[in-house]
Amino acid sequence: MARRPHDPPQSGPQRLTELVRSAVPPVHPAGLPFIAAGAAVAVLGRNHPWVRRAGLAAAVANAGFFRHPDRTPPARPGAVVAPADGQVCLIDVAPPPAELGLAADPVPRVSIFLSLLDAHVQRIPVGGEVLAVEHRPGRFHSADLPAASADNERTSVLIRTPGGHQVAVVQIAGLIARRIVCDLHVGDTVGLGQTYGLIRFGSRLDTYLPADSEVLIEPGQRALAGETVLARLS
């Protein structure tokens, strides 16, 4: 945060704290137990160098995996933003998940694959009202395979925008990911780019758009959750 002209001078520790806060992103609360476990191993094994190093490495790796960077959603009308960091692995048309109770007509779908190095918090692609939240058990294929959308364990969320558009976003577990966290409930009002969950560890996010949407991204592009515009609603 920038200092204002009339702010009192900062001490050395204050400047250091502000620098760390600006350089190191915050961590999602779901990651704190994993970071604490690694740190505990490092402390308990302080007399054994390899144990201490392993504990510190685990703590640092989990801090990176569960990082929760600040994002600024675009102000463009009708924008649908990426729900996850990662690479766009597929753009096609497909019926939305059956458990959402929507028509089986194919609609535009944008799939984002998250590697272990990506931030794994998920964000709301459009603002509006949550109409449905449905979890479906399934398999754990590698999340970058096309079959993952249909076969893997998933949690599907349907959102209706103030303009009446319906957008579905689906958290899909992967080969390593075994835990989907979704904090939404039916009736919730959500904002564009708001954090709503995460998947541990490595996963995929599918976004199903209205049929007349204009897709603005290409396969292979990198996306930033809450900032990259995937499509524009009519």
Q: Read out DSSP for 22-65?
A: HHS--B-GGGHHHHHHHHHHHHHTTTSHHHHHHHHHHHHHHHHH
Pairing of strands 79-81, 166-173: unpaired
**pLDDT (tens digit per residue) in 121-134:** 899 999 999 999 99
Q: Is residue 3 part of a domain?
A: no
Do 26 and 139 have their domain in common? no
Quote the pTM value: 0.77
| R_g (Cα) of the chain, nearest Å | 20
| Residue 211 placed within a domain | yes
**For residue range 42-80, what is the model confidence (pLDDT) as tens digits?**
777 777 788 777 777 767 666 666 666 788 889 888 999
* 93 and 58 housed in the same domain: no
Residue numbers annotated as active site: 203
Residues 60 and 124 in one domain: no
Indicate whether 189 pLDDT > 50: yes
Structural domain boundaries, residue 184: 79-232
CATH number at residue 100: 2.70.70
**72 part of a folded domain:** no
Are residue 170 and residue 210 in the same domain, yes or no?
Answer: yes
| 187: in domain | yes
Do 61 and 89 lie in one domain? The reply is no
Residues 117 and 159 in one domain: yes
Share of the chain above pLDDT 90, in %: 48
- The answer to whether 157 and 135 are in contact (CB under 8 A) is no
Same domain for 48 and 130: no
Same domain, 141 and 180: yes
| Judgement on whether residues 52 and 99 belong to the same structural domain of the protein | no
Does residue 134 belong to any structural domain of this protein? yes
Domain match, 51 and 95 both: no
Q: Are 143 and 42 contained in the same domain? A: no
Structurally, the chain folds into a number of domains equal to: 2
Q: 162 and 106, same structural domain? A: yes
- Write out the DSSP string of 157-217: EEEE-TTS-EEEEEEEE-SS--EEEE---TT-EE-TT-EEEEEETSEEEEEE--TT-EE--
Over 90: is that where the pLDDT of 98 sits?
yes
What residue has token string 């961590």?
27
Task: Reduce the DSSP state of residue 88 to 3 states and report it.
Answer: strand
